[in-house]
A and B are shown apart, each in its own frame.
Chain A
Amino acid sequence: MLSVENFSVTFTMYDRGLVQKQLTVITDLDLEVRAGEVVAVVGSSGSGKSLLAHAVLGILPANAETSGRILFQGEPLSAARCQALRGRAIALIPQSIGYLDPLMTVGAQVCRVGQLNGLAKPAAKLVMLETFKRYNLASEVQHLYPFQLSGGMARRVLVAMAVVGQAELVIADEPTPGLHPDVVTETLNHLRELASEGKGVMLITHDIEAALQIADRVAVFYAGTTVEIAAASDFANGKLRHPYTQALWRALPQHDFIPVAGD
């Protein structure tokens, strides 16, 4: 469904005064997401995980330059195609409620996504209420503004927003931090459910535990590229190949809790 081939992102930025410098953040990345599959992208912060999502959605900042290819359903994702597809065939579950409109009630915003997907206003409202119910959100929540939501509620609203449309590829950018374990499991199960409905799911997370709960394959990101794409079962079996992956596994609080030197 989605295949990223030999993909690089380079930023041109001002260093000191008018001196420009080039900064390559993603180098020679390969990744494939098939329909009905959950692929987790795991890595430390600043390794370029979110940039990958933004690249697929075509919302990189203007000073970014890309090379390589991204194919969606067999055809290259051009800027125009990206714009036509995002929010419809490709949906993003963003990292925080900072991505929502702070001056619009969340109900109205979810409704708007429904309308963008071709529903009439009353139908969109119906679907919105249904989705809210599915994610355990009381119907009063639709009248709240983003700042009034608690962390867990905000996350559920964001998931609801992505599900309202008819997306075929769902990119979840850090959907679980700061949530109660039950809610985490629930959110992850919803993602798994989306995959069994035949959608492709890309789960971007730093939480290896969460990723292993639902992912079919785990791509480990380090310094802007994938160092290892492992089956989820390789982690528990101790079959990890790359030293960085092994170190990441050891740094978990339930294991050694020792950080790896360097970033």
Chain B
Amino acid sequence: MLIADQVCFRYSPRHPWVLHQVNLEVTPAEVVGLQGPSGFGKTTLGKLLAGYLTPTQGCITLAGKPLPPQGYCPVQMVFQSPESAINPRWRIAKVLQEGQFPSLDLQARLGIHSGWLDRFPHELSGGELQRIAVARVLNPQTRYLIADEMTAMLDANTQALIWQAVLAHAAQHRLGILVISHEAALLRRICHRVVDLSDANTIRAQASASERA
């Protein structure tokens, strides 16, 4: 189980809290939605869970242990724009090698053509590149997936294609998924439950008010 326990985060003591005492848990094979207005720390929470940032207070645990400090992190994040998540100077085949090379079956399900593999990222469109970014993290070592607006940039058709492939993989490998999205229809469609960060934020507002008092 991936657990955020009383997590607080701020960039420095001079800055206000981005997140204050947030609790969240994702169990294997569960799809959890995370919504809230922009600027409320949805992405920050995702980055904390994936180990890109360390919490100022509180802790993130994966099956009872903290996230591994080095090596492949079992919690992987997929960002909104693949252009900035992929090394522009590497060919696609090398990008895919960063995780574990996706099986032909997964490639087919994501609609990745073998002709793309020796191209450079700028030669693919956003939707094609996002499928590469997804294929890179969908391997047996990944236990949890943080999808941060993963398909917000994409058309309905590509969105459906990517999500169908991801959900099939998740069911097969008991992958837990946190879906960060603004699109209520998508969350209703794919999530088992949805967490609203603005509810968590009322707690934050109360906490900072009591700090001031």
Q: Spell out A's residues near B (CB within 8 Å).
A: 42-46, 96, 98, 150-153, 174, 177-184, 206-209, 247-249, 251-254, 257-260, 263
B89-108 interface bits toward A, Cβ cutoff 8 Å, 1 = contact, 0 = none: 00000000000000000000
- Report which of B43, B127, B163, B189 forms a contact with A44, defined as CB distance below 8 A: B127
Residues of A within 8 A of B164 (CB): 257-259
- Report which of B127, B182, B184 forms a contact with A45, defined as CB distance below 8 A: B127
Distance in angstroms between the alpha carbons of A182 and B182 in the assembled complex: 10
Interface Cβ pair total, 8 Å cutoff: 103
With A45-B154, A248-B156, A263-B111 known, 4 other A-B pairs at CB within 8 A are A44-B127, A44-B155, A181-B183, A206-B153
Residues of A within 8 A of B188 (CB): 253-254
Residues of B within 8 A of A248 (CB): 155-157
Q: Spell out B's residues near A (CB within 8 Å).
A: 36-39, 43, 80-81, 83-84, 111, 124-128, 149, 152-161, 163-164, 182-186, 188-190
Residues of A within 8 A of B163 (CB): 257
Instruction: Find the residue from B125, B152, B155, B190 having the highest chain A CB count within 10 A.
Output: B155
Residues of A within 8 A of B126 (CB): 45-46
- Report which of A183, A249, A251, A259 forms a contact with B38, defined as CB distance below 8 A: A183
Nearest-CB distance from A19 to chain B (Å)? 14
Residues of A within 8 A of B184 (CB): 181
Instruction: Find the residue from B184, B185, B190 having the highest chain A CB count within 10 A.
Output: B185
Using known A-B contacts A177-B149, A178-B182, determine if residue A45 contacts B38 with beta carbons closer than 8 Å.
no
Q: Are A177 and B128 in contact (CB under 8 A)?
A: no
- Report which of B111, B153, B156, B185 forms a contact with A174, defined as CB distance below 8 A: B153
Distance in angstroms between the alpha carbons of A257 and B191 in the assembled complex: 14
Residues of A within 8 A of B155 (CB): 42-45, 206-207, 248
- 29 pairs, CB–CB < 8 Å, chain A vs chain B: A44-B155, A45-B153, A46-B128, A96-B81, A98-B83, A151-B43, A151-B80, A152-B38, A177-B149, A178-B80, A178-B152, A178-B153, A178-B182, A180-B37, A180-B38, A181-B182, A181-B183, A207-B155, A209-B185, A247-B157, A248-B155, A251-B160, A252-B160, A253-B183, A253-B189, A254-B188, A254-B189, A258-B164, A259-B160
Q: Are A258 and B125 in contact (CB under 8 A)?
A: no
- Report which of A45, A182, A184, A257 forms a contact with B128, defined as CB distance below 8 A: A45
Distance in angstroms between the alpha carbons of A207 and B158 in the assembled complex: 12
Q: Are A45 and B159 in contact (CB under 8 A)?
A: no
Distance in angstroms between the alpha carbons of A216 and B21 in the assembled complex: 46
Distance in angstroms between the alpha carbons of A45 and B155 in the assembled complex: 6
Nearest-CB distance from A181 to chain B (Å)? 6
Residues of A within 8 A of B153 (CB): 45, 174, 177-178, 206
Using known A-B contacts A253-B159, A259-B164, A263-B111, determine if residue A150 contacts B39 with beta carbons closer than 8 Å.
yes
Distance in angstroms between the alpha carbons of A177 and B163 in the assembled complex: 17
Residues of B within 8 A of A207 (CB): 155-156
Using known A-B contacts A45-B153, A46-B127, A181-B184, determine if residue A259 contacts B158 with beta carbons closer than 8 Å.
yes
- Report which of B37, B124, B158, B161 forms a contact with A152, defined as CB distance below 8 A: B37
